[in-house]
Chain A
């Protein structure tokens, strides 16, 4: 168990729905990440939060809206999604020391299907 949990594990939504994905880490880490995993494509980094501050937004459409209320929780709010947004959404966390890259630990993901 990596100590990173995600809910729900599966989500089916229509294009007009609004839903939220939740991630929680129990590792005492300071950085959290959202990735999108589509079939036969590399993991795509979406958002990065360091100490609750967003430090990265990889040109993600505004229909995806992240929220990080504290270092342990991360949300991804979804609205008016498209069928091509169907994918596995992975959350990760890392310690984020002052210098050097560090290991990211992943949650199990949320399998999202947009009808």
Chain B
């Protein structure tokens, strides 16, 4: 089955700096890669996603890159703000089977 590794487990940055979170996956059949943000007391919320036919996608301060050959994908957050502080999860999915990384706790210091 699919195995998703996520690094780092914790990340602390200064407000305004960039943050990068990296994930690797093992199943070449995975073709959908969402990123979720989970704030305290809430369920995971989708923030951006990418499908296997695309190498990069950007939405304002958030971008995701995908390297299918190497089986890794990354989340990039630029100009970080304190409200970006949360736990971020990557996931790799094929039909009906989504596997998550263990999460990265991002802290943005004002």
A residues bordering B, Cβ < 8 Å? 2, 4, 6, 31, 40-43, 45, 48, 50, 55-56, 90, 92, 96, 99-109
Given A41-B102, A45-B98, A50-B96: A100 and B31 interface contact (C-beta under 8 Å): yes
Q: Can you list 22 residue pairs at the A/B interface with Cβ under 8 Å?
A: A6-B43, A42-B99, A42-B102, A43-B100, A45-B98, A45-B99, A48-B96, A56-B96, A90-B43, A96-B96, A101-B32, A101-B93, A101-B94, A101-B98, A103-B46, A104-B34, A106-B36, A108-B41, A108-B42, A108-B43, A109-B42, A109-B43
Q: How far is the CA of A106 from the CA of B43 in the complex (A)?
A: 6
* Size class of the B contact interface (CB-based, 8 Å): 20 to 34
- What residue of chain A has the Cβ atom nearest to residue B103's Cβ? A42
B residues bordering A, Cβ < 8 Å? 4, 9, 30-32, 34, 36, 41-46, 49, 51, 89, 93-103
Most chain A CB within a 10 A radius of its CB, from B42, B96, B102: B96
Q: Which residues of A contact B98 (CB under 8 A)?
A: 45, 101, 104
Q: Which residues of A contact B99 (CB under 8 A)?
A: 42, 45
Contact of B32 among A2, A42, A102 (CB under 8 A): A102
